[in-house]
Amino acid sequence: MLLKTLAKYPLIFITFWVVVGLVAAAYVVLPVKYVWIGVILSLIFLLVVHFWQNRQLKRNFFVTFWIGVISFGTGFVLHYNSDARHRSDHYIHFLSKDSIVVMQIELRQKLKTSSKYANYIGFVNKINGLSVTGKILVRLPVVDKKPDIGYKLTIPIQISLIKPVPTALNPYGFDYRKYMKYQNVYRRVDLTDISYQIDKSEGFDLVMLAGKWSEKIKKNFSQSGLSPHRLALAYTLLLGDRQELSPEILSDFKTTGTIHILAISGLHIGILLLFLNFIFKPVKNISRWLALILSLVLLWFYALLTGFSPSVLRAVIMFGFLAVGLELKRKTSVYNSLFAAALFMLIINPNYLYQIGFQMSFLAVLSIVSFYPVLVRLYRFNNKYLQWWFELFWVSLSAQLGVLPLSLYYFHQFPVYFLIANLLVVPLLFLVLFVGFGLMILSLFQLKITLLFKLFGYLLQILLVIIHRIAGFEYGLVTNIRFSLISLFISILGLMLIYYFVKQPRKFRSVCCLLVWLIVWQTHLLYEKYQRFHRHQYYVLHQYKTVITAEGKGDSLVFYQKPEKINMYIKQNFQLPYRNIVYDSFRVFQRFNRLRILHIDSLGIYNYKAYHPDIVILHHAPKINLDRMIEKLRPKQIVCDGTDYAAFVRRCQKSAQKHKVKFHDTRTQGAFVLTGK
């Protein structure tokens, strides 16, 4: 079976082992130079065998094994090279030489902007006049004349102000540091109270040129008379700019399971490709390949207009490979083209593997090309319009089947009416984007057709009304769905077995595989339930100026604080792992398993008879002699939380080190967590 797969779909086999190598490199530490030497020697060995056999390399287990080894090693090396910090000229290596440095940062990507701050990803070009490389997170105050993409900032700054990207300080919170790590961003600078010099980039800059074209399109659209909501939706659908989209509209799209249409990705590029095929239909009569080349050129031009966002790049590359594969008109070309696109993208940037957009785009397209041809044959209507809707239904269902495990794992929610919403929205989206793309082309030439803008506005309004009505349906969104990483892999395996069963339903082997999978799935669910039932944890959470402790047992969590004093995001993060959340009053004395816990607040009272705590938690920087307290109570661990100021925490840490007592600070180490049974 493996040899047949390698012969028919070689890129599936190669891509699989490259991905395994990428993942393994994140957990296994090996000298990369030896891995690289091993890959080169294996490749030379395989080439020698190839020529030794008169260029007729036989597809046997020996050859398959060495191809897998080379692919695995390549993935391992790619993971190492993807970390920009391994470069000798990365700016991180130049930060320990002086206390103050002069940095030159070029703004390259605009992130979400708040009412007070503008956030960018910048490229560090120079430090103290030396050429360096690397990305950095930049926060700027929102002012009338703020710099934009392509501008260069010259900043004299203390090294202590160049800080690591913030991470999650409480359990189940969003780890922004990990998210930015996969974009090779490891440091941030906050320029709200720092003076800096702004200069325009010199010479030709493709990114700045694309930005000017985008602004020209926006200016033409803003003068068209569209309402603010419609204008914001137009910017989102056509240029991928969500800055002006209201939270209410965004919530409606999430509830209906149509949030994917707001991200310019596979669906948009697919529709644009259809639009270009329609335009270049006369060219196809002359040369199909000429029409394909023109379409691909314009796809890349569109990617340029959207600022080469990762989702657009993924979609353009993937559809480019698929379009070429379909043009070759071979059955194996679609799968090979899809995996060739994935492999090409991972070679360019291995960190794509960890991006949700890449995973969902790839699985959605893979699911469509796999399930749709099988499902569409189940029944056919004589009426071509009914058949078209029926085919759209199967496309939506096929795509949703592929991304469902990822949606449950990342977002822990399931939109009940996603099929209804997609069946109504996707056909309308075809019209919206067809008209929108036409208006974009006209806007580049500063042409404005009022009638066409009115039609575009009506289509956008219909789209908003449909989404809002469906979002208002009762029980439209199932939330707080538990779905672990193991559940993700088991469910993806289940989809593969379902596909195998649908393709060959009468084979005894396929039925047995499905039954075994069901047993594995049920066993996994029972094991997770057993783990939750026996779970017992105690938390000292981090919140600025607020004491928050909590205790979780099984499916229940108790916050020892008033609900109105707890940060909204902390409460939301704990809603998934714990079904029942209650609130209780603060307690000075607590027990966790056999550990005794004492809380000391600003009053500084700790002289309790016959109570010798194992853990002392300090709140509001109590005015006590820390050495005397440690000598009297002799605790095993001391904890400081978000209510203690920095100078007090430093004194406390020194005292703990002096008496050889464990110390934990939630400001730098995150929440303090005890785990028991």
Indicate if 547 and 586 belong to the same structural domain. yes
Residue 101 domain-assigned? yes
Q: What is the pLDDT of residue 519?
A: 92
Give the total residue count for the chain: 677
Indicate if 334 and 437 belong to the same structural domain. yes
Residue 254 domain-assigned? yes
Q: What is the dihedral of CA 625, 627, 628, 629, to 10 degrees?
A: 80
Q: Which among 654, 642, 587, 591 has a CA at the least distance from the CA of 618?
A: 642
Indicate if 304 and 408 belong to the same structural domain. yes
Residue 649 domain-assigned? yes
* Domain boundary residue, one of 437, 463, 478: 478
Indicate if 162 and 42 belong to the same structural domain. no
HSE, CB side, 13 Å, CA atoms: give it for residue 226. Answer: 29
DSSP secondary structure string for all residues of 528-545: HHHHHHT-EEEEEE--TT
CATH code, 164: 2.40.50
Indicate if 125 and 237 belong to the same structural domain. no
Q: How many domains does the chain have?
A: 5
* Domain boundary residue, one of 502, 530, 558: 530
Indicate if 397 and 520 belong to the same structural domain. no
Q: What tokens appear for 212 in the block?
A: 């000017």
* Domain boundary residue, one of 530, 551, 566: 530
Indicate if 50 and 126 belong to the same structural domain. no
pLDDT averages per 10-residue partition of the chain, 677 residues: 60 89 86 83 78 60 79 90 88 80 86 78 89 91 71 87 90 89 91 80 66 78 85 85 82 83 74 76 78 83 75 75 68 73 87 84 83 81 79 80 87 85 83 85 78 89 91 83 90 87 72 87 92 91 93 93 91 88 91 92 85 92 92 93 93 94 94 88
In angstroms, the CA 391 to CA 383 distance is 12
* Helical pair 418-444 and 450-471, crossing angle rounded to 10 deg: 160
Indicate if 396 and 492 belong to the same structural domain. no
- DSSP code for 675: E
* Helical pair 10-27 and 61-82, crossing angle rounded to 10 deg: 50
* Helical pair 333-348 and 10-27, crossing angle rounded to 10 deg: 30
Cα first-last separation, the chain: 46
Q: What is the pLDDT of residue 56?
A: 55
Residue 209 domain-assigned? no
Residue 659 domain-assigned? yes
In angstroms, the CA 324 to CA 296 distance is 10
Q: What tokens appear for 495 in the block?
A: 């989809």
Contact 267, 261 (CB under 8 A): yes
In angstroms, the CA 598 to CA 590 distance is 7
Q: What tokens appear for 390 in the block?
A: 């029926």
Indicate if 288 and 318 belong to the same structural domain. yes
DSSP secondary structure string for all residues of 102-133: EEEEEEEEE----SSEEEEEEEEEEETTEE-B
Indicate if 294 and 244 belong to the same structural domain. yes
Residue 467 domain-assigned? yes
Indicate if 582 and 663 belong to the same structural domain. yes
Residue 503 domain-assigned? yes
CA atoms 20, 24, 25, 29: torsion sign: negative
Indicate if 77 and 148 belong to the same structural domain. no
Q: Which domain holds residue 17?
A: 2-82
Q: What is the pLDDT of residue 61?
A: 67
Residue 211 domain-assigned? no
In angstroms, the CA 312 to CA 226 distance is 26
DSSP secondary structure string for all residues of 429-495: HHHHHHHHHHHHHHHHTT---HHHHHHHHHHHHHHHHHHHHHHTSTT-EE------HHHHHHHHHHH
Q: What tokens appear for 571 in the block?
A: 């409460």
